[in-house]
Structure 1
Amino acid sequence: TLVNTGVIPIQVLDNASGAEVYGFEFDAVYYPVDNLLLNVTGAFQHSELVDFVSGAGADFSGNKIALTPDASVTALARYDYNLANLGDLYIQGSVAYRSSVFFSTENNPLLEQDGYALVNARVGFAHSSDRWELAVFGKNLTDEAYVTYAGDLSDFGFMQRYIGMPRIWGVELAINF
């Protein structure tokens, strides 16, 4: 925890004496037709600090545990087309959703990332020898703006934020040896 003293922020390692975490995870795979894979994975959880008074005297009991989304779900579809002895041509798309998270034990709304979804796509060719693969890909196709980490440095006049990757297009050659 970064404690703001009004003069210089101090990094403090605090331990919560009680927390409540429960939920479930799932993974489902379905092949509705030959060569078409549908996959959904996810986790739903509840996390709460139930008994946490920091060394500085702040009571964080009832707050969400930092960096724990209530939900994260990924859905993927992939179609493979076999090109005889050459290999497989494939097209793949995915959507990954993550619900809101706090980046601080204080649950400061200035250090919160709202829920967001990332859309990715990939078209490629995998050689039958499994020695190499060539693909064209796009990540974060909707160019969703999101934060991967945030910290309170208000004693210095700002909040620290690490911004997630913007939309990216690329070509990838993978060689296995």
Structure 2
Amino acid sequence: MVSYELGNKSSWLENRLQFNAAYFYYDYEDLQVNNIEGALVVIRNAGEATGQGIEFDMTWLMTESLQLLVSGNYLNAEFDEFSPAIDNIPTDLSGETMPLAPEFQLSTSLLYNQVLSSGGEIDYRVSYSWTDEYYFEVGNTEEEAQDSFGLVDARIAWTSADTQWQVAVFGQNLTDEEYLNYAGGLAKYDLDAPITVSAIDRTFGASLEYSF
């Protein structure tokens, strides 16, 4: 594999704002991928594949207590030469998008720190992440694809003045977004449809930590 990366790191507003960005390019030769052929998982040489994109991250200390984090990336990853057997049928996948390679991704978090008169602290965090459509398997079929989706998470944590105790409550996927962790597998051979594994539903929890 041959890869290149060109990036820049910068600071603004008396170092309260940091912004980093990079362009990357990679070129695979003799790339190996898993592919389902009949009832078997076969590792095949996918020939050549290329990927390129841009990624960035930003940290902004808006006040002494409030901080904003933002990151994202654009990715274009595809097979240049790949002709496997899909369901025992030779198929030319040259130019198709590689599996697990969403074109766009974005995440942002807002953090707030509250100092208490007792000396302890309460940290608040709310996060949002968005992922573009992507495919789980080679072939780019809609049955083995995940549509774009966004997730909202939140967390509140109290830390004692001596930092030994921390109590936190959190919520994941607060909007109860329905999405998949996986779609594909040998069930395609048995049932003529890919097996699907759902991701986590809306979840709430709490934690208690003590440091010696």
What's the offset of the Cα at 1:14? 1.1
Measure how far apart 1:31 and its partner are. 1.1
Q: Which amino acid aligns with 1:67?
A: L
- Equivalent-residue separation in structure 1 for 2:188 and 2:123 (angstroms): 49
Task: State how far apart, in whole Å, the 2-side matches of 1:59 and 1:132 are.
Answer: 58
Superposition TM-score, scaled by structure 1 size: 0.91
**CA RMSD, 1 decimal:** 1.5
Q: Following TM superposition, by how much is the alpha carbon of 1:127 offset from its aligned partner in structure 2, in angstroms?
A: 2.2
Letter of the 2:151 counterpart:
L
Q: Secondary structure at the match of 1:12?
A: strand
Q: Which residue matches 2:157?
A: 124
1:2 aligns with 2:32: no
- Partner residue of 1:144 out of 172, 177, 185: 177
Alpha-carbon distance in structure 1 between the residues aligned to 2:134 and 2:120: 42
Match of 2:4 in 1: none
Q: Distance in 1 between matches of 2:97 and 2:149?
A: 18
Which residue of the partner structure matches residue 60 of structure 2? Answer: 30
Bigger fraction of residues in strand: 2
Residue 73 of structure 1 aligns with an amino acid whose one-letter code is L
Q: State the aligned residue count.
A: 173
SS in 2 for 1:155: helix
2:29 is aligned to none
Which whole-Å deviations, capped at 9, do the CAs of 1:130-167 have from their partners, x for residues lacking one?
A: 33311111110000000011114232114211110000
Unpaired runs of 5+ residues, structure 2, are 1-34
Equivalent residue, structure 1, for 2:81:
51
Identical amino acids, percent of aligned pairs? 28
Q: Does 1:42 align with 2:76?
A: no
**Over residues 85-118 of structure 1, what are the superposed CA-to-partner deviations in whole Å (9 max), with x where a residue is unaligned?**
5321121100011111101111111000001010
Mapped partners of 1:167, 1:49: distance in 2? 36
Spell out structure 1 runs of 4+ moving beyond 6 A: none
In the alignment, the residues of structure 1 paired with residue 144 and residue 188 of structure 2 have an alpha-carbon distance, to the nearest angstrom, of 11
Q: Which one scores higher on RCO, CA 8 angstroms, separation ≥ 6?
A: 1
C-alpha distance in 1, partners of 2:169/2:200? Answer: 17
